[in-house]
Amino acid sequence: MNPVVVAEDVAKRYGETVALDGASLSIDAGEVFALIGPNGAGKTTLVRALTGTVSPDSGSVSVLGTAPADVDASRLGVLPQSFSPPDRLSARELLAYYASLYPESRDPDTVLAEVGLADSAETWYENLSGGQQRRACVGSTLLNDPDVLVLDEPTTGIDPAGRRTIHRLIEDLAADGTTVLLTTHDMAEAERLADRVGLLADGTVLDVGSPAALVDRHAGSDRLVVDLAETETDTESPMTAADLVATARETLPNRIERDRSRLVVHDVDPTDIGSVADDLSTAGIEYTGLRWTEPGLEAVYYALADAETDAVTGGPESVAGEASVTSNPPISDVGGGRP
């Protein structure tokens, strides 16, 4: 299959600031591709390069087989991160205005219904909530029924119900053959929508793959988080942190990490939770709770971003990404190496 969106070794500087440093990606027809990365990673600059509003200093970009500036406007829909349409138009008037820019367009009322604004069609844009305004902006990109849809953080400021509406809409568009490139800080959104994900850090695409493939490659294993009981201060020989880790490692074949009042036992299948808990109790390790977690894209995000930082600074690799799925403080390795 020939890709319809391509960036090859794209570089862009703004004075001394490097926005893109050899970024490359390709997106196939009908694919939903999510671009994730920290603020300042270069996501918006790459989107602008792919939509023809920024010229790369070097490298090449193409959309639908041609330079972005030469793409037929009726085949491309673009939602920038910042978009400020006229305030004193109703939602219906706003979409009707954008529909009038194309020789052939979709019915504005149909699009309003698709983005969940049918009941707010007569409300001025300035009187819509922030989330409703963003949905109206998403709707404005759909009026030309584009072959390629580029959405820069489309659900920013939208409530959960509105996000669900936009998610379903993107899924339906992709099912009908629309190619979608979106940027997002919402890892759950990327996992739900994207066929493939690209992680951008420091202006470079570090890796690309399906959410599951990226998790397998970078995020580590399923793990059991063990909330430890407090050590009695009047005990004659309290078990120290090092003792806890050493005892757990002698008891279990799994990789063990500890941070403050937690042990993290890696490579634990859900069916093995009971036996792991029994082994820890038999070894004299007291705990107050158990939580089984599996890594997701958030862990990939931290793992790859940390690795890129280490490549620049020469510092050691962090394990914070492995702990991110537990929504607790980062885990620091105590003794023993990682695989």
Q: What percent of the chain has pLDDT over 90?
A: 59
Query: Using an 8 Å Cβ cutoff, are 229 and 220 in contact?
Result: no
Specify whether 146 is located in the same domain as 284: no
Domain C-terminal end among 209, 238, 254:
209
Query: Using an 8 Å Cβ cutoff, are 131 and 164 in contact?
Result: no
> Residue 13: is its pLDDT beyond 80?
yes
The tens digit of pLDDT for each residue in 68-82 reads 999 999 999 999 988
Query: Using an 8 Å Cβ cutoff, are 125 and 135 in contact?
Result: no
pLDDT category at 338 given cuts 50, 70, 90 is very low
Considering its fold, how many domains does the chain have in total? 2
> Residue 130: is its pLDDT beyond 70?
yes
Domain C-terminal end among 158, 179, 209:
209
Residue 161 lies in domain: 3-209
pLDDT category at 230 given cuts 50, 70, 90 is confident
Residue predicted with more confidence, 121 or 216: 121
> Residue 318: is its pLDDT beyond 80?
no
Nearest to 185 by CA among 32, 20, 38: 38
> Residue 334: is its pLDDT beyond 70?
no
| Interior angle at CA 144, CA 140 and CA 148, nearest 5 | 95
Please list, in sequence order, all residues whose beta carbon lies within 8 angstroms of the beta carbon of residue 304, skipping any fewer than 6 positions away: 199, 201, 206, 207, 218, 321
Inter-helix orientation angle 91-99/130-140, to 10°: 20
> Residue 237: is its pLDDT beyond 60?
no
Q: Determine, yes or no, domain membership for 190.
A: yes
Supply the CATH number for residue 236's domain.
Answer: 3.30.70.980
Nearest to 124 by CA among 101, 145, 94, 148: 94
Specify whether 43 is located in the same domain as 160: yes
> Residue 269: is its pLDDT beyond 90?
no
Specify whether 69 is located in the same domain as 178: yes
For the chain, the C-alpha Rg in angstroms (whole number) is 24
Residue 68: its pLDDT value, please?
94
Residue 313: its pLDDT value, please?
36
pTM of the model: 0.76
Mean pLDDT of 213-224: 83
Domain C-terminal end among 161, 182, 209:
209
The tens digit of pLDDT for each residue in 89-108 reads 999 999 999 999 999 999 99
Specify whether 237 is located in the same domain as 307: yes
Residue 44: its pLDDT value, please?
93
The sign of the CA dihedral 125, 126, 127, 128 is positive
Rounded CA-CA distance 289/273 in Å is 12
Rounded CA-CA distance 258/73 in Å is 55
Residue predicted with more confidence, 231 or 249: 249
Nearest to 140 by CA among 78, 52, 51: 78
> Residue 310: is its pLDDT beyond 60?
no
The tens digit of pLDDT for each residue in 141-200 reads 999 999 999 999 999 999 999 999 999 999 999 999 999 999 999 999 999 999 999 999
Q: Determine, yes or no, domain membership for 214.
A: no
**CA dist 121 to 84, 162, 166, 167, 266, Å?**
18, 16, 17, 21, 52
Residue 306: its pLDDT value, please?
63
